[in-house]
Amino acid sequence: MKERFENRIAIVTGGCRGIGKSIAMKLASEGAFVYALDYVIPSEDEVFSEQPELAARIKCMQADVTNFASVESCVSTIIEESKKIDILVNNAGITRDNLLMRMSEAEWDAVINTNLKGTFICTKIVSRPMMSQRYGRIVNIGSVVGIMGNAGQSNYSASKAGMVGFTKSIARELASRNILVNLIAPGYVRTAMTDKLSEEQRKAFLDNIPLKRVAEPEDIANSVAFLCSDDASYITGQVLNINGGLYL
C-alpha cells in the first residue's frame, strides 16, 4: 500500500519537541522525509529515540525563525539536498504570559516576532520553490486563544489571531499555483508547557471542555497530516479548530 507522503519533503518548525515533534513523526511515519527545524536542537539520543525506525526519515536542523538569513540558509540546504519542498508546517511558537499592565515591550516583541513574524519569514522563503514546482501544502499552527482571546495572553492571542488573517490572505495569493494554506487552532494540548500548570488550572480548563479531556500532540499531528494529504486537495484558507468543543 502506498504511503500518503511517499517522496514528499516536509519542513516542520519547532519540530524537535512537543506538538512539532509529533507532527514530524506522523509525516515521517507515512513516508515523508522531514526536516525538523528548531532553535535549540536536543542531542540525537533525546530526539526521536523512542522510534528509531523513523530516525532515517527525520533530520534536525538549527534555525531561528525570526531571522530571515537563518531560515534562508536552511531552506537553501534543503533544496540542495532534496531538490524540492512539498510541505511546510509553521509550528514554532513561544509564550511570555502577563497581564497587559505588567507586560513589557520585550515580552510583546518576543512573542510577535517568533509566532507571527516567524510564520511570515518561513512562508515567504518556502513558497518560492513551491511556486516553481506548482505544488505545496502549508499548515500554520494557531491557537484557540487566537479566536476567543485569553486574559494574560494578549501578546500570544494577538500573534495567533494574526496568523488567521495571514493564512487566509496567503491562501488567496497562492491558490493559482496549487499551494494550499490552512490553519489548525488547537485548544488545551498535553505538552511540557501545559504540564507546568497547577491542578487547579488544569481543572479549570477541563471544566470548560465538553469532551472532558485534553488533546494529545498526536491529535494535532493527525489533523496536520489530513490537511497535507490528497484527501484535503479542495481545502484552503480554512481554520480547523481542534479543541474538544472548548470554543463552539
Kindly tell me if the per-residue pLDDT of 180 is higher than 60.
yes
Catalytic residue among 35, 39, 135, 156: 156
Compute the mean pLDDT over every residue in the chain, rounded to the nearest whole number: 93
Kindly tell me if the per-residue pLDDT of 197 is higher than 80.
no
Sign of torsion over alpha carbons 79, 62, 96, 242? positive
- Taking the C-alpha atoms of residue 212 and residue 224, their distance in angstroms, rounded to an integer, is 23
Kindly tell me if the per-residue pLDDT of 184 is higher than 70.
yes
Instruction: Delimit the domains of the chain by residue range.
Output: 9-242
What is the average pLDDT across 157-186? 98
10 Å CB burial of residue 140 (0-12, 13-18, 19+) is buried
pLDDT of residue 44: 58
Kindly tell me if the per-residue pLDDT of 114 is higher than 90.
yes
**Hey, how many other C-beta atoms are within 10 angstroms of the C-beta on 185?**
24
pLDDT of residue 164: 98
Kindly tell me if the per-residue pLDDT of 1 is higher than 60.
no
How many residues does the structure list for the chain?
A: 248
pLDDT of residue 45: 52
How does pLDDT run across 42-73, given as a tens digit for each residue? 775 567 777 778 888 999 999 999 999 999 99
If one compares 154 and 46, the residue with the highest pLDDT of the two is: 154
What is the average pLDDT across 2-11? 94
**CATH class of this structure's domain 9-242:** alpha beta
What is the average pLDDT across 9-33? 96
Quote the Cα angle for 91-97-99, to 5°.
Answer: 145
Are 109 and 96 in contact, with CB atoms under 8 Å apart?
no
Are 167 and 182 in contact, with CB atoms under 8 Å apart?
yes
How does pLDDT run across 211-247, given as a tens digit for each residue? 989 999 999 999 999 999 999 999 999 999 999 998 7
If one compares 188 and 127, the residue with the highest pLDDT of the two is: 127
Kindly tell me if the per-residue pLDDT of 79 is higher than 90.
yes
Q: Which amino acid is at 215?
A: A
Place of cell 470548560: 208
Are 187 and 144 in contact, with CB atoms under 8 Å apart?
yes
- Global pTM reads 0.95
Kindly tell me if the per-residue pLDDT of 105 is higher than 80.
yes
Are 33 and 111 in contact, with CB atoms under 8 Å apart?
no
Could you give the percent of the chain with pLDDT greater than 90? 82
If one compares 160 and 197, the residue with the highest pLDDT of the two is: 160
Give yes or no: 188 in active site: no
